[in-house]
């Protein structure tokens, strides 16, 4: 069992057909006894969750929710169910170690009112060149203070409420909207001094170049307009 003292409510969004979260559930044995993991998807999978959680002796603290395929709606539903003060949102293909938890606890203790995020450590289950994408995420996060949801965003429930939560009217970019709203409310965006391990498999399906090109196009057409709107509100009111 981990020696970390902070009790976390971990929210994991899942996709149909993706079972990578079953490995993440096994990491839950590292968490404190009063931590909980809430998995959210568009289809019921309670039986599979229970069988996976038994491997980490955490079946009584691992739950499944299902809601419409809208990330903001799913996140808001999970937030309503969270019992702990600290909420950590993870992608299903992340892996957590005791070092990850210790670094997060240290970051929270130093700056409890901030929104915390991780740099990415892409494991080599995809092309090695995907490390360039991890570097790109580092630059975006540091230069613009704009981490994405796949970077393990963590904050207190009070901080998330101050930031305005997740807008259910959005079908995408709910993570960017949250960060922009947080910045408008003078909430600090704080990097954790340890990377979050995550998969790079997605860069194998269509190839690194095609997938990276899609990500760049989506950033310019969807992500950065939200950020530019934030800048306008920040400086021009």
The closest of 130, 121, 139 to 219, measured between CA atoms, is: 139
pLDDT at 16: 79
pLDDT at 124: 79
Pick out the chain residues at pLDDT < 50.
1
In angstroms, the CA 144 to CA 134 distance is 15
Q: What residue ranges define each of the domains in the chain, with the CATH number in brackets?
A: 8-236 (3.90.550.10)
Distances (CA, A) of 36 to 103, 158, 230: 19, 18, 33
pLDDT at 111: 97
The mean predicted confidence, pLDDT, of the chain is: 89
Instruction: Convert the pLDDT of each residue in 51-68 to its tens digit.
Output: 665 566 667 888 888 887
- What does the H/E/C string look like for the chain? CCCCCCCEEEEEECCCCCCCHHHHHHHHHHCCCCCEEEEEECCCCHHHHHHHHHCCCCHHHEEEEECCCCHHHHHHHHHHHCCCCEEEEEECCEECCHHHHHHHHHHHHHCCCCEEECCEEECCCCCHHHHHHHHHHHHHHHHHCCCCHHHCCEEEHHHHHHHCCCCCCCCCCHHHHHHHHHHHCCCCEEECCCCEEECCCHHHHCCHHHHHHHHHHHHHHHHHHHHHHHHHHHHHC
pLDDT at 58: 66
pLDDT at 44: 67
In angstroms, the CA 108 to CA 116 distance is 7
Tokens 């860069």, residue located: 203
């Amino acid at each position: 069992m981990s020696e970390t003292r902070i009790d976390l409510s971990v929210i994991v969004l899942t996709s149909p057909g993706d079972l990578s979260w079953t490995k993440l559930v096994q990491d839950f044995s590292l968490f404190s006894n009063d931590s909980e993991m809430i998995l959210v998807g568009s289809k019921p999978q309670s039986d599979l969750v229970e069988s996976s959680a038994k491997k980490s002796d955490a079946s009584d603290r691992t739950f499944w929710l299902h809601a419409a395929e809208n990330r903001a709606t799913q996140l808001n539903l999970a937030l309503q169910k969270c019992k702990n003060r600290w909420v950590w949102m993870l992608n299903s293909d992340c892996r957590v170690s005791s070092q990850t938890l210790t670094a997060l606890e240290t970051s929270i203790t130093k700056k409890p009112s901030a929104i915390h995020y991780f740099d990415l450590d892409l494991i080599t289950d995809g092309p090695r060149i995907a490390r360039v994408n991890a570097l790109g995420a580092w630059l975006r996060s540091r230069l613009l203070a704009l981490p994405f949801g796949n970077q393990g965003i963590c904050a207190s429930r009070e901080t998330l409420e101050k930031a305005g939560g997740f807008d259910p009217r959005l079908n995408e970019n709910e993570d960017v909207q949250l960060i922009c709203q947080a910045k408008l409310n003078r909430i600090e965006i704080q990097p954790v001094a340890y990377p979050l391990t995550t998969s790079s498999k997605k860069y194998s399906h269509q190839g690194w170049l095609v997938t990276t090109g899609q990500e760049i196009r989506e950033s310019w057409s969807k992500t950065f307009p939200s950020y530019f709107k934030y800048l306008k509100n920040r400086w021009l009111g």
